[in-house]
Amino acid sequence: MTLKYVATTCPYCGTGCSFNLVVQDGKVVGTAPYRRSPVNEGKVCPKGTYAHEFVNSPDRLTKPLIKKNGKFEEATWDEAYDLIAQKFKSYKPDEFAALASARVSNEENYLLMKFTRGVMKSRHIDHCARLCHASTVAGLAASFGSGAMTNSIGDIADSKCVFILGSNTFEQHPLIGRRVMQAKKNGAKIIYADPRYTATAKQADLYMPFVSGSDVAILNCMMQQIIKNGWEDKEFIANRTKDYEKLKEVVMKDTYSLENVSKISGIPVESLKTAAEWFGTAESSALLYSMGITQHTVGVDNVRSTANIQMLTGNLGKRGGGVNALRGQNNVQGACDMGALPVVFTGYQKVIDEAAHKKFADAWGFSDGICEPKNGYEVTVMMDVLTDNPGELKCMYIMGENPMLSDPDLTHVKHAIENLEFLVVQDIFLTETAELADVVLPAACYAERDGTQTSTERRVQMWRKAQDPPGEAKVDWQIISELAAKMGYAAQFPYQSAEEIFSEVAAVTPSYHGMNYERLNRPEALHWPCPAVDHPGTPILHIGKFSHPDGIGVFAPIEWKPPAEVPDAEYPFVLTTGRVLWHWHTGTMTRRSATLDAEVPTGWIEINPEDAQALGIKDKEMIRAITRRGSVEVPARVTRDIMKGVMFMPFHFKECAANVLTNNALDPVAKIPEFKACAVKVEKITEA
């Protein structure tokens, strides 16, 4: 028996913990602590602990599949590539769209971006950041000049006040929750606002349940209190920002008085006052947020409001402060960095910028050119175009994403995907989306490849191969390269290793210029920006100046607006959605991990006891939840942990899919959907 330990990075959340994969006779059989990681220091959450269990699942895809007469048949790689190449070549550039993946490596996201813009010459590439932090990228870039988490995870422990808004950190990013606990032990006050009394709420010094969608009003109210009491950082505002007077004009309005915002949000006046005082007077205050802020039709407004309060209090460019946007998936930061977005190449170099466009066209060397220098469609817009303008988009290549469970209004998504003429899905399991494909390509999982991923704190870390992929499955970069070669572009995709691809990424991406595998192959790895090989990386952004060309941060006057759909007589409750500790997104991996699945085998809807009593609903009773998009049958969980008037569903479970219900209304800038608030009614199921 041979036994070895391979240190790698967790494939689940954006925290970026490391652990060892235990490999016995060439197969991954367990995980073990890797204590040298500065992120998690040997500790992991349940998902990390059992991250080996799905790797050798009997459900893994092992051969290419081609659909014939409505049924999948196994095929050789050559048969699959030939069919795909012939079909792909038959479409005009903008009839093709690709979805990259926050679950695969930087190298592979880069290659799919290059394939889309170079081989297919299409403008349309996006990925699931559209569903989680598109508002962060747009909002923080407008305020600070850089759309990423400003500080490092370790910094949070040094904060004297931590305000968590729209993030159930202790369940979604448990090892970041550990840093919050360290801050608390060091004397920090913890403020938490959420419609649910979550695991995070239990650790807070001040818990503020609030009506989903009132974030801007709460932040404006806190800023009004801070200014009224003279707690703002006048020097920081004067030296490092602009448009403060415009901000002041809005936040000082009577609309944002304690009394009015208490009515809008449901938070007691005293709590709002205390939150403003603790946050405004602490030596350093960190703001942590996640999708409770971003997944709204006002997602960008929400994000800009978090930036406003941190500039107002001078909590940027210093330890223990920052706007800490907690990115959801393991590599959602990296997929954005790699230009798997419809408006940018790598490192946020704009597609419409002539110089950037020429730079990539020259670097890639396609003799027949690349895509036009125009922005493409976001994934949410792709779905609308497919339903509203059939025939404009005809063909899609989806790598490691499952929109048939992750996107809002699933009936609409199914309709959209069924309007495609040709769909290729590349994944490790036959997902709900793969079932609709014409060709399915079997991919390697994280344990079967080398590569890099970039965590929420902009730390670029290594995945290291621990076992071979099952059957004939291949790593994604190899599949993309072989397909490109079949289409006549072998010269542009000559790669023999992930490292070769990374070298190309570093060459064309200023924030990654100073990175290479030798430098990254250390426990601490590197934070971007890292512009030169002798640069130590940048754990804290905006020290001394912001990333805008003039170095100045920009305040944005933001007025509160209610969600696109609010309760009414017909749909009298607010529905909000989210994740649970034991599962990950569409459950493709965690629901195939026996231990995790045993803990939480299905979904539920949380209902406050007063609402349940009024509706005659009992705990665990199967009920029907209905919105204007559709209905699902789901067990009720009657609990005081959810505030009256609000209901909550986790979105991992296909048998009671929350996204059948959610609203596809979009933020006008980020095009992110409003997963966090729509109007719902519930009813008892009566026997026919």
Q: Which residues bind ligand SF4 (CB under 6 A)?
A: 10, 12-13, 15-17, 40, 44-45, 47-48, 173-175
Report, in Å, the least distance between residue 329 CB and ligand SF4: 10
**C-alpha torsion angle, residues 135, 218, 149, 131 (rounded to 10):** -30
Report, in Å, the least distance between residue 401 CB and ligand SF4: 19
The rounded distance, in Å, linking the Cα atoms of 500 and 521 is 15
The smaller minimum CB distance to ligand SF4, of residues 13 and 382, is found at: 13
The smaller minimum CB distance to ligand SF4, of residues 34 and 256, is found at: 34
Report, in Å, the least distance between residue 41 CB and ligand SF4: 11
The rounded distance, in Å, linking the Cα atoms of 201 and 415 is 39
The smaller minimum CB distance to ligand SF4, of residues 144 and 582, is found at: 582
The smaller minimum CB distance to ligand SF4, of residues 308 and 453, is found at: 453
The smaller minimum CB distance to ligand SF4, of residues 46 and 630, is found at: 46
Report, in Å, the least distance between residue 155 CB and ligand SF4: 17
Across 265-327, where does the E strand assignment appear? 285-289, 323-325
Is residue 583 a contact partner of residue 589, using CB atoms and an 8 Å limit? no
Return all residues near 338 (Cβ < 8 A) that are at least 6 apart.
Answer: 100, 106, 109, 110, 113, 346, 505
The smaller minimum CB distance to ligand SF4, of residues 54 and 256, is found at: 54
DSSP-assigned beta bridge partners for residue 425: 398, 440
Per the document, the length of the chain is: 688
Phi-psi region of 306 (alpha: psi -120 to 50; beta: other; left: phi over 0): alpha
Closest C-alpha to 153, from 548, 525, 555: 525
The smaller minimum CB distance to ligand SF4, of residues 346 and 456, is found at: 456
For residue 268, say if its preceding peptide bond is cis, omega within 30 degrees of 0: no
Report, in Å, the least distance between residue 328 CB and ligand SF4: 10
Q: DSSP assignment of 2-36, as one string?
A: -EEEEEEE-SSBTT--EEEEEEETTEEEEEEE-TT
Report, in Å, the least distance between residue 371 CB and ligand SF4: 34
Is residue 259 a contact partner of residue 225, using CB atoms and an 8 Å limit? no
The rounded distance, in Å, linking the Cα atoms of 506 and 685 is 57
What CA–CA distances, in Å, run from 260 to 8, 215, 255? 50, 13, 6
Is residue 73 a contact partner of residue 65, using CB atoms and an 8 Å limit? yes
Buried b (16+ CB within 10 A) or exposed e, 143-153: bbbbbbbbbbb
The smaller minimum CB distance to ligand SF4, of residues 165 and 175, is found at: 175
Longest CA–CA span in the chain (Å) reads 73
Residue nearest to ligand SF4 (CB): 48
The smaller minimum CB distance to ligand SF4, of residues 16 and 469, is found at: 16
Pairing of strands 395-399, 96-99: parallel
Give the pair of three-digit tokens for residue 2: 């041979």
Residue whose pair of structure tokens reads 């409001």 in the numeric block: 305
Report, in Å, the least distance between residue 104 CB and ligand SF4: 16
The smaller minimum CB distance to ligand SF4, of residues 404 and 466, is found at: 466
The smaller minimum CB distance to ligand SF4, of residues 15 and 509, is found at: 15
The smaller minimum CB distance to ligand SF4, of residues 324 and 664, is found at: 324
Is residue 92 a contact partner of residue 102, using CB atoms and an 8 Å limit? no
Give the sign of the dihedral formed by CA 545, CA 546, CA 549, CA 550.
negative
Q: How many Å is the Cα radius of gyration of the chain?
A: 24
- Angle at which helix 215-228 crosses helix 299-312, to 10 degrees, equals 20
Report, in Å, the least distance between residue 650 CB and ligand SF4: 15
Report, in Å, the least distance between residue 17 CB and ligand SF4: 3
Give the pair of three-digit tokens for residue 663: 């609203």
Q: DSSP assignment of 165-198, as one string?
A: ES--HHHHSHHHHHHHHHHHHTT-EEEEE-SB--
Report, in Å, the least distance between residue 332 CB and ligand SF4: 12
The smaller minimum CB distance to ligand SF4, of residues 381 and 596, is found at: 596
3-state SS, residue 441: strand
The smaller minimum CB distance to ligand SF4, of residues 44 and 413, is found at: 44
Task: Give burial (CB, 10 Å; 0-12/13-18/19+) of 26.
Answer: exposed
Report, in Å, the least distance between residue 53 CB and ligand SF4: 13
The rounded distance, in Å, linking the Cα atoms of 554 and 369 is 38
The rounded distance, in Å, linking the Cα atoms of 233 and 320 is 16
Residue whose pair of structure tokens reads 């991992």 in the numeric block: 652
What CA–CA distances, in Å, run from 77 to 63, 84, 333, 471? 8, 10, 31, 12
Report, in Å, the least distance between residue 670 CB and ligand SF4: 24
3-state SS, residue 453: strand
Report, in Å, the least distance between residue 459 CB and ligand SF4: 11
The smaller minimum CB distance to ligand SF4, of residues 244 and 582, is found at: 582
Residue type present at position 112: L
Report, in Å, the least distance between residue 59 CB and ligand SF4: 21
- Residue 390 sits at φ, ψ, to 5 deg, of -55, 140
The smaller minimum CB distance to ligand SF4, of residues 284 and 453, is found at: 453
Report, in Å, the least distance between residue 106 CB and ligand SF4: 16
The smaller minimum CB distance to ligand SF4, of residues 419 and 461, is found at: 461
Report, in Å, the least distance between residue 40 CB and ligand SF4: 6
The rounded distance, in Å, linking the Cα atoms of 147 and 161 is 23
Report, in Å, the least distance between residue 450 CB and ligand SF4: 19
